Structure formats: structure tokens, C-alpha cells
Amino acid sequence: MKTIIANWKMNVGVRESVALARGTLLALRGRRILPEVVICPPFIALSEVHKVVARSVVFLGAQNLFWEDHGAYTGEISGRMLTELGVSHVIVGHSERREYLGETDEMIRNKVTQALANQLNVIMCVGETASERKSGEQRERVRTQLVHVFAGVRLKSHERLMIAYEPVWAIGTGEIPEVAEVLAMNEYIRSILTDVLPEMDANKIRVLYGGSVEGNNAYSFLREQKIDGLLVGGASVKLNQLKEIIDATSEVLDAQKSL
């Protein structure tokens, strides 16, 4: 199985989100093997988009959540509220929130705990900056993020965990790492999680790639069996680009089934 997560960020309003959701459903029609697709519109569009994707094969995700179920937290949204809106997945730890809003590993850990308490599938982002990459500290940075967030976390047998490796320097820049680099980091992430979450079934840990993913480079990552999918940002709000990525995913799944 391959997973495609479309993070629409703050790029679209309610009407555009509904149109994109409908376009996504059309792009999935007629395919023999379907990828797992999660669309993550802005909070204001979740309710209307849910009406479009309810009873479909597309999952509804949120771009963030708060670490408490209720309280005097102006402007925040809780896991309980998200589940009431039909949300099944949530992104935590995105580098943009770390950079612009000062989110720390401790905050992200609390969000992960809250998401799991509300039966939400966690999509956690990790990745290094350009300076960390240049100095050879990318593995240490990713290890620190994973250990700080998941140390002491207990996952239930039915719960899944998605880790999106998104090098900060690749997000929205058009620059991407070599596939071999992503595969090496993928393997490293799995080894860290095996140590931190020894009780978790390794088959329920999915490691995705994200960062300047577009229709013309998606296949090079998707064809690798050890890359479980993609977290797509800017390209996911362009329906033609999203369709190309879905096309590439279906091609890979068809080929893998025939082996």
C-alpha cells in the first residue's frame, strides 16, 4: 500500500477545498488498485469537505490540533472536535509550525498523545535544516525529534503511525534529496522507532517522503518499496499535479501486484 497525503496548508478556502475534494474523487475513479489518499484542508473547510468524501475511499485529515480536549485556548481546535467533524488523520510537527509558531518537541509530544487518545492517525513530520544538513547533523536532528516525541508513548495494537521525512531545506524550494538519501534516512527512522517503541508492530510504522514533491518526481520515490508514500504540499492544490501523483502511485501499485 502507498499513502498520498495532500496538505493544502493555507492556500484554499471552503469553495476551493470542496472543488479540490471532488476533483480528487474523480481522479481516483476507474482504477484497479487505489492508494490510500488523505486530504488535509484548512480547518474552516473540514465540515464541507467531509460532506464530499464521506462514504468514499478518501480520508479526511487535519493540519494540526491542540494538546487539550477543551479549555480556554483561544483559536485552537482539539482532537475531540476533529473527530466530531469526521477527521481520521492529523499532521503534527510540521516544520512551518516549528519555525513560525515556535512549536517544540514537547508540544508535539503532547499533541501526539492527544491525537492518539482521540483515535486519530498521527502523521508526524521530521527533518533537518540546510545548515544541519551541511554540517552532517541530519541524522542527529531526526533522532532527537523522534526520541523526544515518542519516548514513553505507548501505542495500542491497532494504532498506526506515519512519519513524514521532510527536509526543511526541500519544502517549497524545488530542491529534493537523492532517492538513495531518502531510503537511508527511511531505514534510520525505522531503526530509531524500533528502539523507542519496541512494543509496536514494525508493519504499522509507515515512513513517507515530503518536500517539493510534484508530478514529475513523484514516481522516483513511489517506486521504492521502502518509501511508503508521499506528503504533498503545494502541488496538492493543483489538481493536474495531484492527478499526476495519483497516476504514478497507481502505476507503481499495479506493477508491484504483478510481481
Q: Which residues are catalytic?
A: 94, 166
Buried b / exposed e across 99-108, counting CB within 10 Å, b at 16+? eeeebebebb
Contacts of 47 (CB under 8 A, 6+ apart): 85
Residue type (1 letter), 182: V
Whole-angstrom distance, CA of residue 138 vs CA of residue 27:
36
Whole-angstrom distance, CA of residue 13 vs CA of residue 199:
41
Q: Where do the H-state alpha helices sit in 76-104?
A: 79-84, 95-101
Whole-angstrom distance, CA of residue 227 vs CA of residue 207:
6
Q: Which of 51, 44, 53, 54 is nearest to 13 (CA)?
A: 44
Q: What are phi and psi of 157, to 5 degrees?
A: -60, -30
Contacts of 212 (CB under 8 A, 6+ apart): 170, 171, 172, 173, 174, 175, 176
Whole-angstrom distance, CA of residue 92 vs CA of residue 112:
7
204 with 161: CB under 8 angstroms?
Answer: yes
Q: What are phi and psi of 123, to 5 degrees?
A: -120, 100
